[in-house]
Structure 1
Amino acid sequence: MKFENTNLENHVVNVKLLNEIMEELGFVLAGQWDYERVTYDYKFELRNEIYYLRVQGYSVEGHVESSKGKIQLLTPLLGKYYYPHGVEYGEGENFPQAVLDKSADLLKKAEEQIALVSKFIIL
């Protein structure tokens, strides 16, 4: 499921600041990055089911591991994990309302914090 109209996809963010904001909100970068892409996941565990809110981005300047790298964010996704196949993001998936509400809240907070730091820091 895509979270449209979050305004996150309109931001280019310094990777160091982005890492700090996402970590503060409970997202994990873990090993899901390479020199050109990042993926932040927020894991939900409800009634023996696992869901992931995923915020992805790609480098538009510098590299991901560089403190000066700049990341263009993409439209956030929500998916359900199926063992052993992985995460499915299809529009036909059903998500608990609590997961949808928490996801929307996290994305709103992320966008607000990114917009705030973007006003004060020249990228």
Structure 2
Amino acid sequence: MIPVPSRVEGYSSQLYYIENALKPLGYTIGGNWDYDHGYFDYKIDDEVGYQFLRVPFEAIDGQLDSHGVIVQIGRPFLLSHKYQVGLDDHVESDMDGLSALVDQFQEPQDPDASFPEKYVDLGKALVQELEAVLLD
């Protein structure tokens, strides 16, 4: 994980407006959100895992699943997830395969894999674009 200091840290607005500004740029709300916090993810590449610019946010007025919630953006960071090749150990050991139907996604081999140096400058440029869209 590589933190990228930014002027967007501390910026707050309705989640709806931030999402509408970032979605056309390629950001999605990551699936690992909770009622009080979440992440905007920009997928940089999927070479040997996935490389993301991740922009954290937290609810400061309301809950994320409520209309009009106000969120505050935290410090963006660059993140790599490296996934296992082949089947998960726990799926292979299931006799009936029911768990394989329910839990079909692989566990990360290294959720904090080193971030490829060749994408660091791109990640910083994406943060500058983020600042321009939200702050200027």
Task: Indicate the TM-score class for this superposition, using the shorter chain for normalisation.
Answer: 0.7 to 0.9
| Partner Cα distance (2:38, 2:82) in 1 | 22
Aligned to 2:100: none
Correspondent of 1:85 among 106, 109, 124: 109
Percent of counterpart pairs with the same letter?
21
Give unpaired runs (5+ residues) of structure 2: 84-107
Please list every run of 5 or more consecutive structure 1 residues that lacks an aligned counterpart in the other structure.
117-123
Q: CA deviation at 1:64?
A: 1.4
Counterpart mapping for 1:36-51 below 5 A? 36-45=36-45, 47-51=47-51
> Which residue in 1 is equivalent to 2:117?
96
RMSD, aligned CA = 2.0
**By how many angstroms is 1:94 displaced?**
4.6
Query: Does the alignment pair 1:112 with 2:136?
Result: no
Pairing of 1:1-123 with structure 2 (within 5 A): 1-4=2-5, 6-45=6-45, 47-83=47-83, 84-88=108-112, 93-97=114-118, 99-116=119-136
Q: Contact 1:35/1:65 (CA < 8 Å) preserved in 2?
A: yes
1:121 equivalent in structure 2: none
Q: Rg larger in 1 or in 2?
A: 2
Report the 3-state secondary structure (helix = DSSP H, G, I; strand = E; otherwise coil) of the residue aligned with 2:3.
coil
Give the Cα–Cα distance (whole angstroms) in 2 for the partners of residues 46 and 38 of structure 1: 21
**Residue matched to 2:88:** none
Q: TM-score, normalised by structure 2?
A: 0.70
